[in-house]
Amino acid sequence: MKYICLGYYDEKRWEMLSESERNAWMDECFAYDDVLRKNGHFAGGEALQGAQNATTLRWNNGKVSITDGPFAETREQLGGILILEADDLNHAIQLMSKHPGVRNGPFEIRPAADLTEMVRASEQRRSARK
Amino acid sequence: MNNNATGPTSEMVEALYRAESRRVLATLIRLLGDFELAEEALHDAFRAALEQWPRDGMPANPRAWLVSAGRFKAIDGIRRRARFEAIDENAAQAIAAPDDPATWGNEDIEDDRLRLMFTCCHPALPPDAQVALTLREVCGLTTEEIARAFLTAPATLAQRIVRAKTRIRDARIPYEVPSPDALPDRLESVLRVIYLVFNEGYSASSGATLTRPDISGEAIRLGRLLIELLPEPEAMGLLALMLLQESRRAARASPTGDLILLDEQDRSLWNREQIAEGLALAERALASRRFGPYTLQAAIAAVHANAPEAAATDWSRIVWLYDLLVQVVPSSVVELNRAVAVAMRDGPEAGLALIDALLARGDLADYHLAHSARADLCRRLGRNTEARASYQRALALVQQEPERRFLERRLTGLKN
């Protein structure tokens, strides 16, 4: 089963770290990502650029409005996502508890939703309309 | 099956239901992989037993019969639905795996009960849902009984339980006893749930009565079940703590339901059997040297239990135990209790200084017991104006009726 892990981090705390501290932490994170890859648990993932480069789209009065900045103004920002292949929730918790990223901000673990049925139903509706 | 003997009466089957239904359910959840399906199967199995046993006689191993019957009923159900919903046969095949329940040892079934406990108390479930689910699935209370115990609307409670079960299925929370490296953390959440249940019964957080003995009784039953399945020191410590607290129930309230404090209780009303069992468990937990906060609290309760009269209480030992407890669980409430113990050992002045420092820090400002403890020390020092102000502050914050009456009596006592 796939679990999407949203990794948050505190931008202010990150800025206070020295370069060597940042490097040491990044090295640990990447090394653990490699462990996950090697064991077949890393099903994908991307780091995100800073929240200052975020754009938010919203549906507003019948059209899309574009605003600068992240959707939620919180102290902790979404720093990256990791798609994890795990047997069940306990396995996912066990794998992500060892990820060094958790020491710099929380991980939110969300089971991937299986939309196969919804996609199939939607395809039927759309082809019926043709 | 025994065909010639006279079968059991329906009362006997019902008694068996009370004794066995949670065990059978725990195993059916593992076999069927789904709480709802297992509950349906459990009821189908007992319905079949009520029909067949009085007629054909009681099977040699009723528990295994029930598990087996429940499983076949569930497979039938899945096959019937599959015809309409085009679900493949795999689901039915998977749970029809050929192992004969009659050959299982008791250990497998006991493991299932432990799996059920850990799953109901999984930290990925909201705390109130953990409590509700444990009382429903492990203790077998009805939704209405749980709702009454927690003064919640039955519909709200039913929804909480349904959501928790959906979450177990959709997030795929496994039905297992945690691995040894995860066990300490996971055990903590099981213990917390049991203690929450106990406290709701021991000191109802609101409402007309001081205690709800039935709910405390369930918590003690859960505690016994847990140490029977997993004799960890903190689990023993928690059971010891609950038994020692519970032993004072009859002495804690007057016939009119008013609160009686520890130093004024009639100690001959304390339940000696519960005290003896609690003391023995607390000793075993302490001897393990792997104990935690529950064992320390049990050790404190044990000092009180060992004192033949209030004046003979070993307050130095209590202060020492609180010192340890503050280190294990740094909390303002623990520090408040420590301050009260210091007042008993060194005099009210010393305790008051500690409580004032705690209140100045701000985190206990809305806690009625902090103000009533302060009021009590001021009263003993003859500072009646200060005592009055603190009793009034406590009265403004208190939620429970007998506690409110107690504070009012103290306040009236000051004026005379």
pLDDT at B118 over 60: yes
Kindly indicate the confidence band of residue A52, based on its pLDDT and cuts at 50, 70 and 90. confident
Residue B46 lies in a domain: yes
- Fold annotation for A2-50+76-129: Alpha-Beta Plaits (3.30.70)
Separation of alpha carbons B188 and B233, rounded Å: 12
Instruction: Provide the 8-state DSSP code for B144.
Output: H
Look at A111 and B179 and tell me if their CB atoms are within 8 Å.
Answer: no
Report how far residue B287's alpha carbon sits from residue B139's, in angstroms, rounded to the nearest whole number: 30
Q: Is the pLDDT of residue B311 over 50?
A: yes
Which run of H or of E encompasses B361? helix B348-361
Question: Which residues of chain B have a CB within 8 Å of the CB of A94?
Answer: 179, 182
Please provide the average confidence, as pLDDT, over all residues in chain A.
89
Chosen domain end from B75, B104, B133: B104
- Taking CB atoms and an 8 Å limit, are B174 and A111 in contact across chains? no
Tell me if B176 and A90 make a contact (CB, 8 A cut-off): yes
Taking the domains of chain A in order of start, what are their residue ranges? 2-50+76-129
Min CA distance, B177 vs chain A (Å)? 10
pLDDT per position as a tens digit, B245-271: 999 998 988 888 788 888 899 999 999
Nearest CB to B171 within list A87, A94, A111: A111
Q: Give chain A's count of helices (H) and strands (E).
A: 4, 6
Query: What's the rounded Cα separation, in Å, for the pair B7 and B4?
Result: 9
Contact: A88, B172; criterion CB under 8 Å:
yes
Q: CA A111, CA A5: separation in Å to the nearest integer?
A: 9
CATH of the domain at B414: 1.25.40.10
Please identify among residues 115-144 of chain B the ones whose CB lies closer than 8 Å to any CB of chain A: 122, 124
pLDDT band at B9 (very low <50, low <70, confident <90, very high): confident
Per-residue pLDDT at B180 exceeds 90: no
- Cβ of A89 within 8 Å of Cβ of B124? The answer is yes
With 0-12 / 13-18 / 19 or more C-beta atoms within 10 angstroms meaning exposed / middle / buried, residue B150 is buried
Who wins on pLDDT, B37 or B92?
B37
**Residue A65 to chain B, least CA–CA distance (Å):** 34
Question: pLDDT band at residue B88, thresholds of 50, 70 and 90?
Answer: low
Lowest-confidence segment of A118-127, B8-17, B273-282 by average pLDDT: B8-17
- pLDDT value of position B1: 45
pLDDT value of position B3: 45
pLDDT-based confidence at B108, cuts 50/70/90? low
pTM, rounded to two decimals: 0.81
Taking an 8 Å cut-off on Cβ atoms, the answer to whether B124 and A87 are in contact is: no
- Of B104 and B16, more confident: B16
Decide if B3 is inside a domain.
no
Split at pLDDT 50, 70, 90, the class of B177 is very high
Model pLDDT, residue A114: 84
Question: Domain range holding B372?
Answer: 328-416
By Cβ distance, the residue of B173, B179, B182 closest to A88 is: B173
Within a domain: residue B74? yes
Q: Which of B104, B123, B147 is a domain's end point?
A: B104
**Model pLDDT, residue B255:** 83
ipTM of the assembly?
0.77
Mean pLDDT to the nearest integer, A70-88 = 87
**Cβ–Cβ below 8 Å for A90 and B170:** no
User: How many domains does one find in chain B?
Assistant: 2
Is the model's pLDDT at B275 over the cut of 90? yes
pLDDT digits (tens, 9 = 90+) for B193-216: 999 889 887 765 555 565 666 788
The pLDDT value recorded for residue A61 is: 84
The residue among B46, B75, B104 that closes a domain is: B104
Closest CA to B234 of B302, B185, B188, B174: B188
Write out pLDDT tens, residues B380-415: 999 999 999 999 999 999 888 888 999 999 999 886
Among chain A residues, the shortest Cα distance to B178 is held by: A90
Q: Please check whether residue B400 lies inside any domain of the structure.
A: yes
